[in-house]
Chains A and B, each alone.
Chain A
Amino acid sequence: MRKIKSTEEIVYQVFVNALLLLTLLIVCIPLLRVITMSFTPIKSGRQILGGLLIPFSDWSVAAYQQLLTHPAFLSSLANSMIILVLGTTINLLLTIPLAYVLSIKGLPGRKFLNILVLIPFLFNPGLIPTYLVVTKLNLIDTYWAVILPGAVSVYNCFVMRGFFEGIPEDFKEAARIDGAGEFYILRRIILPLSKPIILTVGLFYGVSHWNEFFAPLLYLNDTKLQPLPVLLRNILLAANVNEYVDTNAMSAAPIQSLKAASVVLTTLPMVIVYPWIQKHFTKGTLVGGIKG
């Protein structure tokens, strides 16, 4: 009896792990293809598995060399960094106080504030009305156009509010009795206790800034201001549509290697911080994803 059971168990485990392995391959093969492509020179000799791999001796870093020394790439990288740092700072400077105040029970007007925040969350009038605001404020061709319209994500704010509400009232009450002001309480008591949620929400914001390509495309016409994803998009479209980017300056390396290398370089910073992201994001989605 016991013996039969364990064979069943073994078969089952083989099946389950085979399924996981298949999933892993499906995820990894496209990524591997991109990486290999980025190292493939114009005249590569042998291709293994239809170009999924090439012999190590054929590897070429020409595409990377060309990208990393190209002024357009470097300035886009700098723009992305500026938008990332400035944007995330503003996100947090607005979201933290808002979430904190929304979490204070018994504050007159709290309900009103909640509704003020909830309405835009539920009803979105679409692209054009916001575009008109940005135009009206003369923000076109400034970083602010990319940063300000989405400065507070209501979803992130609710995630953070939920966390603040979970902090025992006693901590705050004790400080209030000692005569501490609200700014002091927020900075010295709440924030040190809230590091995990601030990191999570900060990462949420940071990733969306790093990935954002539509807002810059919409609001930044000046190519000197364009961030990495916009440059990447222009490079990817370059083969079909020539007017998008100064491809001539880059055309010494095979265009497909350049494309793949720019994909890898744009992804790389994300992959480097990914272990932290994974740790905190998974926690964050479970906190905020569905609120019991």
Chain B
Amino acid sequence: MSSTVAQPAGTMKVKRKTLNLKRYWTLYLMVLAPVIYFLVFRYMPLVNAQIAFKDFSPLDGVWHSPWVGFKNFLEFFNSIYFWELMRNTIGYSLAKLFIGLPLAVILALALSETAAKAFKGVVQTMTYLPHFLSWVIMYGVLLALLSEGDGWVNMIIKAAGGETKSFLGSPNWFPVIVVLSDAWKETGWSAIIFLAALAGIDPALYEAAEVEGATRLQRIKYISLPGIADVIVVVTLLRLGTVLDAGFHQLFMLYSMPVMSVGDILDTWVYRQGILDFRFSLATAVGLFKGVIGLLMVLVFNRLAKKFSGSSLY
């Protein structure tokens, strides 16, 4: 740059800066509504969360209710429900993960291996569909299958001379139904990511293996599975980060009094204590406990996932 053009370049810079300022103000204006949304509906709840440490009464309001320290937390930790709720919550999360994930991997493998392309499309379309059904609809589907009076499974059992079962009403069967119905709904959808990972494997590897005379199963064992191992690990880690989310909508729809001991999870308990029994402070304390543990889990497992493969949730 010669000194003769330095002068105009300088004024250009100033002009550019004022232009930028104007530009920035337009951009700030643009996010005004979203920011207000966040302050009201995402940050006000954080402020309200203080009632976990208070004895909240609607008359006194959030700010003027008296402080009680950790009383609400201790009440929860010492209650007979604590261990049962933790067991159910973590149990369902892990069972869904460790049963659903292998099924999704197997489905992805089968989809990627089939030579019948049109059939593959049909299977994909149909297995993705249940992901979009709400748990209200799922409850309707489960009733049509499992209800004691006219559920299809019970009609088959009856026709075979067996005794009908109350699947959704029996503490023995209920957990099985919860895990299997989740697998039925989500397996197709969770297979997508593995299918994409399989498609990303270098075809030259398969060709070389074929030349070497590797069997199909050997190719899966030594090329396909190692090829998607990264993705399997990352998906597992990210899912472990949300282990306290056991599926509120599902349990909320499916559980009932007779199966409460095996159907109640943290979220459903918070709902009942807070909304149905008006124990706002206790419910908030449990919600906060879940939020803090959830935050730590997500941070730790996301860090691990990032370390493992450079992928991250955010």
Minimal beta-carbon separation of A130 from chain B (angstroms): 5
A93 to B188, CA, bound (A): 32
Are B30 and A101 in contact, with the CB atoms below 8 A?
A: yes
Docked Cα-Cα span, A236 to B107, in Å, equals: 32
| Contact across chains for B40 and A33 when beta carbons are under 8 A apart | no
Interface centre among A12, A16, A119, A236 (most CB of B within 10 A): A16
- Measured CB to CB, the closest approach of chain A to B98, in angstroms, equals 19
> A113 at interface (Cβ–Cβ under 8 A)?
yes
Could you tell me the dominant secondary structure of chain B's interface residues?
helix
Binding site secondary structure of chain A: helix
User: Are the C-beta atoms of A129 and B45 separated by less than 8 Å?
Assistant: yes
Q: Which of A34, A120, A236, A277 touches B42 (beta carbons < 8 Å)? A: A120
Question: Hey, which chain B residues are within 8 Å of A151, CB to CB?
Answer: 37, 41
Query: Shortest beta-carbon distance, B67 to chain A, in Å?
Result: 17
Q: Kindly state whether residue A168 has any CB partner on chain B within 8 Å.
A: no
**Closest residue of B by beta carbon distance from A263:** B140
Cβ of B173 within 8 Å of any chain A Cβ, yes or no, is no
Number of residues from B at the complex interface, CB < 8 A: 102
CA of A150 to CA of B101, assembled, Å: 29
B126 nearest in chain A by CB position: A27
Partner of B119, one of A17, A97, A282: A17
Chain A's closest residue to B131 (CB) is A281
**A133/B123 in contact, CB under 8 A:** no
Closest-CB distance, A143 to chain B (whole angstroms): 15
In the complex, whether A176 has a CB less than 8 A from a CB of chain B is yes
Contact B120 A94 (CB under 8 A): no
Which of the 9-residue segments B3-11, B77-85, B86-94, B306-314 touches chain A? B306-314
> Number of A residues contacting the other chain (C-beta, 8 Å)?
95
CB distance from A149 to the nearest CB of B (A): 5
B55, chain A: closest CB distance, angstroms: 14
Whether B38 contacts A263 by the Cβ 8 Å rule is no
Interface residues of A in 80-128 (CB under 8 A from B): 93-95, 97-98, 100-101, 104, 107-109, 113, 116-128
Give chain B residues whose Cβ lies under 8 Å from the Cβ of A282.
Answer: 128, 192
A–B Cβ pairs within 8 angstroms, 12 of them: A16-B114, A23-B110, A29-B152, A30-B142, A34-B140, A47-B155, A50-B156, A98-B31, A104-B27, A213-B135, A274-B129, A278-B125
The 5 A-B residue pairs whose C-beta atoms are closest, nearest first, are: A126-B287, A211-B134, A129-B45, A263-B140, A120-B42
